[in-house]
Amino acid sequence: MLTARAGLPRRLLAELIGTALLVTSVVGSGIMAARLSPDDVGLQLLQNSTATVLALTVLILVFGPVSGAHFNPVVTAVDWWLHRGGSLGGVAAYAAAQTVGAVAGALLANAMFGVPAAVSGRVREGANLWLGETVATAGLVLLIFALVRTGRAALAAPAVGAYIGAAYWFTSSTSFANPAVTIGRTFTDTFAGIAPASVAPFIAAQVIGAFIGAGLVVALYPAPVSQPVAASDLR
């Protein structure tokens, strides 16, 4: 994911807005799906995943040239580790902007659909779900940085959208694969929500998945085919 060398404030704004709109699409489409298909959970998931795929693809196209369109702390952290593209302070700033954006996005979706602001009571726990999050995150990291290291970053928007859409269905956890989004989704007691008690294990699984994905990137693509601009250029 190539990025213009925009100033850090502008990149943080892009990450905040992009992550907010991503979570709005996840939560909002989940609410709409539950209302349109109240008795068919499979159809709800299809509606929710389709909206997320389309929204994520568009958001990467819009915000990618500004910030790299990470919208995800583990993507930012792995990008820094692989490319040494800036300071740890910049990584932390990206993660903070992404998390604030995710919370704002959930609250915006609640407001648009007239859902009372509430902490989610939807418990998501179990080793099978944590394994699903590990697999989903590892695959996401491998995909993104395989594209970057082989000079095909322009394909990130459709490829990442397609992967997340597929992972909704082939992982037991429905592929959160994102610590900021996981935190944001605690602020909606709807179809897409997650209870606060379920957050820490999900994030732990995502971090493990990020390490696995990064290791696979280094093993499979030890050096870039052509040196890209570091997506997190956080200096």
- List the beta bridge partners of residue 86: 234
Greatest extent of the chain over all pairs of C-alpha atoms, in Å: 51
87-121 burial by CB neighbour count: b if 16+ within 10 A, else e? Answer: eeebbebbbebbbbbbbbbbbbbbeebebeeeebe
* Whole-number pLDDT of residue 169: 98
* Whole-number pLDDT of residue 224: 79
CA distance 1 to 136: 19
**Is the pLDDT score of 86 beyond 90?**
no
Amino acid letter for position 44: Q
In this prediction, residues 24-35 reach a mean pLDDT of 98
What digits encode the pLDDT tens for the residues 199-210?
999 999 999 999
Assigned CATH topology for domain 8-220 = Glycerol uptake facilitator protein (1.20.1080)
Q: Read off the tokens for 160.
A: 């990442």
* Whole-number pLDDT of residue 5: 61
Helices (H), the chain: 8-36, 41-67, 73-83, 88-112, 127-149, 156-170, 179-184, 199-220
Q: What percent of the chain has pLDDT over 70?
A: 93
**Is the pLDDT score of 85 beyond 90?**
no
**Is the pLDDT score of 229 beyond 60?**
no
Q: Which pLDDT band holds residue 114 (cuts at 50, 70, 90)?
A: very high
Q: Of 95, 75, 198, 87, which is closest to residue 145 (Cα–Cα)? A: 75
What digits encode the pLDDT tens for the residues 131-159?
999 999 999 999 999 999 999 999 999 99
**Is the pLDDT score of 235 beyond 70?**
no
Q: Give the position of tokens 């080793």.
A: 127
In this prediction, residues 113-139 reach a mean pLDDT of 97
**Is the pLDDT score of 56 beyond 50?**
yes
- List the beta bridge partners of residue 87: none
The DSSP result for 7-63, as a single string, is: -HHHHHHHHHHHHHHHHHHHHHHHHHHHHH-TT-HHHHHHHHHHHHHHHHHHHHHHH
CA distance 45 to 69: 25
CA distance 107 to 83: 34
CA distance 97 to 123: 26
* Whole-number pLDDT of residue 4: 47
Amino acid letter for position 84: R
**Is the pLDDT score of 234 beyond 50?**
no
Q: Give the position of tokens 């709409």.
A: 32
